[in-house]
Amino acid sequence: MLELAVLGLLHEGPMHGYELRKQLATKLGAIRAAISYGSLYPTLRRLQAAGWITEESGAKPGAEAPPLTSKRGRVVYKITAEGKERFQELLGNAGPETYEDPSFGVHFAFFSRTDQATRLRILEGRRRRVEERREGLRDALGRAAERLDAYTLELQRHGLDACEREVRWLEELIAHERSGKPPDVTPPTSR
Amino acid sequence: MLELAVLGLLHEGPMHGYELRKQLATKLGAIRAAISYGSLYPTLRRLQAAGWITEESGAKPGAEAPPLTSKRGRVVYKITAEGKERFQELLGNAGPETYEDPSFGVHFAFFSRTDQATRLRILEGRRRRVEERREGLRDALGRAAERLDAYTLELQRHGLDACEREVRWLEELIAHERSGKPPDVTPPTSR
DNA sequence: GTTAGCATGTAAGGAGTTACATGATTTT
DNA sequence: AAAATCATGTAACTCCTTACATGCTAAC
């Protein structure tokens, strides 16, 4: 999840860890809380070791050079060609079969880098999972309703409502994708 | 989370692990997928070591006795007095400050075992967190909208909608609690 | 008699978090 | 010069999952 998100953001341009965390918090604000540094920095190491990102040590001409006096200054990372391949590979994976898994949201957030066929596949996969959960909840509200207390039932109703809403949302998105008219995708800084 | 759920279910009556998992899947169906055995059984051990649950070895008079020929038969657990204390203690904790944390739902599912003051505190805590997230999303949709692509914006809108909906739901529940007329709480098998 | 479902468990590992520690830079 | 915030990092730990292994019991 973090791996996909980091590669995706570095796809838009080079960045250092701290900045990455901030952008991630904005981009994935609808999905999850900001990631912790204790998770981010080891991930950057791992991605670098795998060859998917590199330190941008080269003094970018024209840009302000980092002060050479600093011992432990910013480390700016950029994505490599292998990293872009890896990113596409991760984007293609639909992720685990659980409803509450946040990976759908992360995939969705990077849909502007995904081809339409993959977008459709992921949207339909998500719809199937949400529909399954919806059926499970309907079942519980029917079959086991007597054995559950009022609060639990209220929780199930609210969950069912959320599922129905999400299915409708997904239907709209799928119809829109199929119409061949995807939303006006304007990636911030295309490369 | 698992600890609270297991203690809560055993509060309704003795049960063995396999059955526990099934009931958990129904009760917490709106919150999360079924827990795995690799998580459940070690937890039962831990709870037993802590003295919060015990094996119900006593041949319950009248009930069908487990076949004595089986080597590794069912292990039926029941909650102890200390376990009930622990359960109340866990119920009182509002849980972490993150929006996506499932612990609110688990707390809610056991509201029929919680006193009204605690219910109100937890509902209001949840409302505050959801409102914060909502504000964060509104902010992102306003402030950073230009820097985000159409899919990310769509995700934020959907997230914002879900937040607004949940806040309304919580408002209703809070009003209902305050009216002193909680839902007809009929715990399945009160002890 | 064999498939399906019931029932319990272990070992390894994944994907993060919290708490801590350090130092540079900017603002007040 | 103090405070805030920028910036990087490590160690320990949490809480869960997957994959595996075992054996019993009921149904077809």
pLDDT for A2-57, tens place per residue?
999 999 999 999 999 999 999 999 999 999 999 999 999 999 999 999 999 999 87
User: Which chain A residues have a beta carbon less than 8 Å from that of B11?
Assistant: none
0.85 surpassed by pTM: yes
| pLDDT mean across residues, chain B | 87
CATH of A2-56+75-107, one of 3.40.50.300, 1.10.10.10, 2.40.30.130, 2.30.40.10: 1.10.10.10
Percent of chain B predicted with pLDDT > 70: 86
- Whether nucleic acid strand D comes within 7 Å of the CB of B147, the answer is no
Contact list in A for residue B165 (CB cut-off 8 A) is 161-162, 165
User: Tell me, what's the pLDDT at A6?
Assistant: 97
Mean pLDDT, residues A63-72: 48
A69 min Cα distance to partner chain B (Å): 33
Stretch among A65-74, A163-172, B2-11, B150-159 having the lowest mean pLDDT: A65-74
- Of A31, A98, A136, Cβ closest to residue B29: A136
Per-residue confidence (pLDDT) for residue B60, from 0 to 100: 47
A142 touches chain B (CB under 8 A): no
pLDDT at res. A69: 42
Residue-by-residue DSSP string for B105-155: HHHHHTGGGS-HHHHHHHHHHHHHHHHHHHHHHHHHHHHTGGGS-HHHHHH
Q: Which residues contact A108 (CB under 8 A, 6 or more apart)?
A: A122, B151, B154, B155
**A 78-107 residues, CB < 7 A, strand D:** 96, 98
What is the reported pLDDT for A190? 46
pLDDT band at B72 (very low <50, low <70, confident <90, very high): low
Summarize pLDDT for A92-138 with one digit per residue, the tens: 887 777 888 889 999 999 999 999 999 999 999 999 999 999 999 99
User: What pLDDT does residue A71 have?
Assistant: 53
Instruction: Work out the minimum CA distance from B70 to partner chain A, whole angstroms.
Output: 31
- What pLDDT was estimated at residue B58? 52
Residue B109 has pLDDT above 50, yes or no: yes
Q: Which of A124-128, A132-136, B37-41, B100-104 has the lowest mean pLDDT?
A: B100-104
The Cα of A21 is separated from the nearest Cα of chain B by a number of Å equal to: 15
Residue B100 is predicted with a pLDDT of 82
Q: Confidence class of residue A191 from pLDDT cuts 50, 70 and 90?
A: very low
Share above pLDDT 90 across residues of chain B, in percent, rounded to a whole number: 73
The 8-class DSSP code of residue A111 comes to G
Candidates A151, A160, A163, A164, partner chain B, best to mutate (most B CBs within 10 A) = A151
Taking C1' of C19 and every protein CA, the nearest residue is A38
Structure tokens at A39: 């998770």
Nucleotide with minimal C1' distance from the CA of A36 is: C17
The distance of Cα A134 from the centroid of its chain, to the nearest Å, equals 23
Angle in degrees, CA B28, B33, B37, rounded to 5 = 100
- CB nearest to B149's CB, from A144, A162, A185: A185
Domain ranges in chain B are 2-55+76-107, 116-178
Q: What is the pLDDT of residue A70?
A: 45
A164-185 residue pLDDT tens: 999 999 999 999 999 977 665 5
Q: How far apart are CA A129 and CA A120, in angstroms?
A: 14
In this predicted structure, the answer to whether residue B56 has a pLDDT above a threshold of 90 is no
Q: Give me the helices (H) in chain B, please.
A: 2-12, 17-27, 37-49, 81-92, 103-109, 116-143, 150-178
CA geometry: angle A36, A100, A91, nearest 5 deg? 70
Q: What band does A68 get if pLDDT is binned at 50, 70 and 90?
A: very low
Residue contact B186–A149, C-beta within 8 A: yes
Nearest CA in chain A to B97: A33
Which of A15, A98, A135, A155 would best serve as a mutation to test chain B binding (most B beta carbons within 10 A)? A155
Among A3-12, A36-45, B153-162, B173-182, name the one with the lowest average pLDDT.
Answer: B173-182
Interface contact flag, A26 B148, Cβ < 8 Å: yes
Neighbours of B18 (CB within 10 A): 13
pLDDT at A58: 54
Provide the pLDDT for residue B63: 44
pLDDT band at B67 (very low <50, low <70, confident <90, very high): very low
pLDDT over 80 (residue B79): yes
Cα A77 to Cα A59: distance, rounded to the nearest angstrom: 13
Shortest distance, CA B144 to any CA of chain A (angstroms) = 8
Confidence at residue B62, expressed as pLDDT on a 0 to 100 scale: 42
Is it true that domain B2-55+76-107 has CATH number 1.10.10.10? yes
